[in-house]
Amino acid sequence: MHRRFAPFIIVLVLATSSCYRAIVRTGQPAAQQQPVSTIGISFLYGISSVTTVAAECTNGLAETNTSLPWWGVLVAGITVGLITPWETQYQCAAPK
């Protein structure tokens, strides 16, 4: 009986797993530094989301990039969506 459901489960896992990326550009010039990268965790299918505080960016942000890493799909699948890791990269704005 479990062989009958195997194709359905495989299709369901492949159909619901995807990569996500969101980039926000503020239009301000970026500072001459490397982007800062952080990893955060979202719980329970996104009920609690990832928050990044860039306190060192006193002039604001030039760009932020939030994405689901390739291994995040594996972690979300293994934990059945209870834990989903997110990667956030941001770059501070240059002084005015």
Give the pLDDT confidence score for residue 91 in this predicted structure: 92
Q: What is the pLDDT of residues 31-42, one digit of tens each?
A: 888 888 888 888
**pTM, full prediction:** 0.68
Helix (H), strand (E) at residue 2 = helix 2-16
CB of 89 closer than 8 Å to CB of 35: yes
Q: Cα separation of 69 and 75, whole Å?
A: 10
DSSP secondary structure, 22-86, as one string: EEEE-SSPBPSSPPEEEEEEEETTTTB------TT-TT-EEEEEEE--HHHHHHHHHTTTSEEEE
Q: What is the pLDDT of residues 65-92, one digit of tens each?
A: 888 888 888 888 888 888 888 888 999 9
Q: What is the pLDDT of residues 20-59, one digit of tens each?
A: 788 888 888 888 888 888 888 888 877 777 777 788 888 8
